[in-house]
Amino acid sequence: MKKHILLALLFGINISNIFCTTRKVPLNYPTIQAAIMASNNTDTVEVSPGTYFENINFRGKKILVTSLFYLSKDTSYISSTIINGSTPINPDTASCVIFNSGEDSTAILQGFTLTGGKGTKWTDIHGAGTYREGGGILMDVSSPTIRYNIIISNTATNTSSVVSAGGGGIRIGDGNPIIENNIITNNQGKYGPGIVLNYTGCRIKNNIIALNTGATSYFGGSGIWIYNDLGTTPKIIENNTIIKNSSYSVGTGGISAELATNVIIRNNIIWGNLPVANQIIATSCTVQATYNDVQNAYTGVGNINANPLLDSLCLTLSAASPCIDAGDTSTVYNDLTSAPNTALFPSMGTARNDMGAYGGPDTFVMHCSKIVVSGILELSNVTEHINVYPNPTTGQFTVETNINNKQTLQILDVNGKLVFSQLINGTANVDVTNLNAGVYTLAIKTADSVMNKKLVIVH
């Protein structure tokens, strides 16, 4: 062994890689925590399907803790490999997973269902008092990577001997973690039932954040709750689907930001959160919100206000969704493509970014969960349809609907300005050769419904 280390030093090889080991649970270790404790940096803790009644802590290890999902990208391993935090040794340390030892992005949690966590009693390092936070995951002064997980039915609501309780799904403080390609649903908290961001940066991308409830204090923020800053570290909230989160008595069920700067909200769907009036609230701060679909509208370049028409199966965009090709026009946000300028499923349309969790370069078809889509079916238009062909068009096209009464066909430009209007009845031929080439929203309006479709004009 000494000879191997000497050779590694001579040839500049990272010694830690010599010890890189896959530690299998339960084959080699009875618990996930036991495997973590035995691990060295760069090790992999591989967890087979099953339910593990544990409350684990990464203890500063730069390791990958994963289900068998990492071998094949089979999402069934995500739902069948469960960390259940409902039976903690200490009731005040009841988060499913804790990162509080300065972990960086090489500490990775991947491919699990986290459930049953009740949060950890935690003294805020900024002097605000003691709180119970992080039902699913608690992070403090740490920046791990959290990806491809279902974080469901965790709570942070017990206010006994604490100031308050929040972050039912995830609580993040004083770090800069990566949260991507997760489903965060059905969690509860007094504030931030979905995600709490406290004095922190973050990159939150391509997540479904839905059906998180509670939020009776601190402006709600049932989807994402943001307070203050970690220096100038940005809070990037990009290409998420944030829907049907509920604040019971205050603020917003969507995104709440207070005393925060450098909050970038881009390419998201923020819809159906309660109360409906305020999907985004910025208190004593200004957020940069661009190219989002926000119910009841929000000021910002490229923002729209249109039913996203989500497919009920996996919350992907339906073919009629106005969110297709409606995200930021910069090519760095482009969808993955299957052919030149043709989006790769689950993205749709052209290469331009699709709003929501299934748009952009980092999207992934996550595990479809009936729990997530329950109660959201009204976002899908299952009884009416609209067909436009050819699309793209040089300016002359046919529109078909299955509605047998008079409708108003409207075309809006990228800024939401009405540029064309025509009465139709079922099927109509339309001539817009006078419009400039570009991407438009085509809306069909009746007395009690609105259908939208993306229209591309080329000359």
Nearest to 349 by CA among 339, 243, 357, 92: 339
Q: What is the DSSP string of 247-306?
A: ESSSSBSSEEEES--SEEEES-EEES-BSTT-SEEEESS--EEES-EETT---STT-B-S
User: How many Cβ atoms sit within 10 Å of the Cβ of residue 362?
Assistant: 15
Cis geometry, peptide bond prior to residue 275 (ω within 30 degrees of 0): yes
| Stated pTM of the model | 0.80
Reading the chain (459 residues) residue by residue, the pLDDT tens digits are: 444 444 444 445 444 444 589 999 999 999 999 999 999 999 999 999 999 999 999 999 999 999 999 998 888 899 999 999 999 999 999 999 999 999 999 999 999 999 999 999 999 999 999 999 999 999 999 999 999 999 999 999 999 999 999 999 999 999 999 999 999 999 999 999 999 999 999 999 999 999 999 878 888 899 999 999 999 999 999 999 999 999 876 688 899 999 999 999 999 999 999 888 889 999 999 999 999 999 999 999 999 999 999 876 678 898 889 999 999 999 999 999 988 899 998 899 999 999 999 999 999 887 665 444 444 433 333 344 577 888 788 889 988 876 666 788 888 776 667 899 999 887 889 999 999 988 787 877 765 555 667 788 887
For residues 135 and 168, the answer to whether their CB atoms sit within 8 Å is: yes
Nearest to 193 by CA among 146, 239, 133: 133
The two three-digit tokens of residue 341, written as one number:
């300028």
Which of the following CATH numbers is that of domain 386-457: 2.60.40.3080, 1.20.1630.10, 3.20.20.150, 3.40.1080.20?
Answer: 2.60.40.3080
Q: Which residues contact 162 (CB under 8 A, 6 or more apart)?
A: 121, 129, 130, 131, 132
Which of the following CATH numbers is that of domain 16-314+363-379: 1.20.1440, 2.160.20, 3.30.70, 3.40.50?
Answer: 2.160.20
**Do 386-457 and 16-314+363-379 have the same topology in CATH?**
no
Integer angstrom CA distances of residue 167 from 118, 185, 191, 361 = 10, 12, 7, 28
E-assigned strands of 144-201? 145-147, 150-152, 155-156, 165-166, 170-173, 178-180, 183-185, 188-189, 195-198
Question: d(Cα 172, Cα 140) in Å, to the nearest integer?
Answer: 6
Question: d(Cα 169, Cα 210) in Å, to the nearest integer?
Answer: 11
Task: List the domain boundaries for the chain.
Answer: 16-314+363-379, 386-457
